[in-house]
Amino acid sequence: MSPVDTPTPQEEMIPANPPKPPVAASKAFADKGAWLAAAGRFKEEEHEVEGIGVVLFSEISAAARAEILGQMASAMQPDPETKEKGKLDTVAYQKALLLAGVVDPNSPAGSRNPLFKAGDMDAVMRIGGAAVTEAVAVVERLSKMGRWQVEAEGNSEPTPSGASTSG
């Protein structure tokens, strides 16, 4: 055997496939039951919105979040015929967040009802911009959207809350 083929003492000590450390016995992983039991449990927060009063906000469901983000992503796609870049409809985004995330404090915890109906949203959007922006920010934070999504996912681009308004 030539000196090149001879393993060094350090190489002899390193196994080719080192064993993986065992999973700690004390760590309990969530099972299917834990996931399904979490349905309907959302973070909630009471927050005083200037000029409005104390409002009960809720994290929005995963389905509502995915629908809102999907609509916003679709809006950004270029028009297939004109190739013009799409524009975010932040009014629709804000309406959707407020509709899903402002809840009726008189409804039962665990199955909260929205405070507003879809027909209320045009009137809600005539409230002062600072109040609407503050309310949207609370729902975004609870639901890890907008700039809170950026922090949670480490993205470098802002999402719809930081976009200019259209519509």
pLDDT digits (tens, 9 = 90+) for 19-36: 676 665 678 899 999 999
What is the span of the domain harbouring residue 53? 42-162
**Residue 15 within any structural domain of the chain:** no
**Residue 135 within any structural domain of the chain:** yes
**Residue 167 within any structural domain of the chain:** no
**Residue 22 within any structural domain of the chain:** no
Yes or no: say if 146 and 94 are a contact pair by the CB < 8 Å rule: no
Q: Check whether 157 has a pLDDT greater than 70.
A: no
The reported pTM is 0.69
Domains in the chain: how many in total? 1
The domain that holds 135 is classified in CATH as 3.30.2220
Q: How many CA atoms lie within 13 A of 46 on its CB side?
A: 3
Tell me the CA distances in angstroms from 30 to 27, 36, 38, 144, 152, one per residue in order. 10, 10, 11, 21, 21
* HEC string for 91-149: HHHHHHHHHHHEECCCCCCCCCCECCCHHHHHHHCCCCHHHHHHHHHHHHHHHCCHHHH
Q: Check whether 125 has a pLDDT greater than 70.
A: yes
**Residue 50 within any structural domain of the chain:** yes
Q: Residue 5 — pLDDT band, cuts 50, 70, 90?
A: low
Q: Is the dihedral of CA 71, 73, 75, 80 positive or negative?
A: negative
**Residue 4 within any structural domain of the chain:** no
User: What does the pLDDT read at residue 153?
Assistant: 53
User: What does the pLDDT read at residue 86?
Assistant: 79
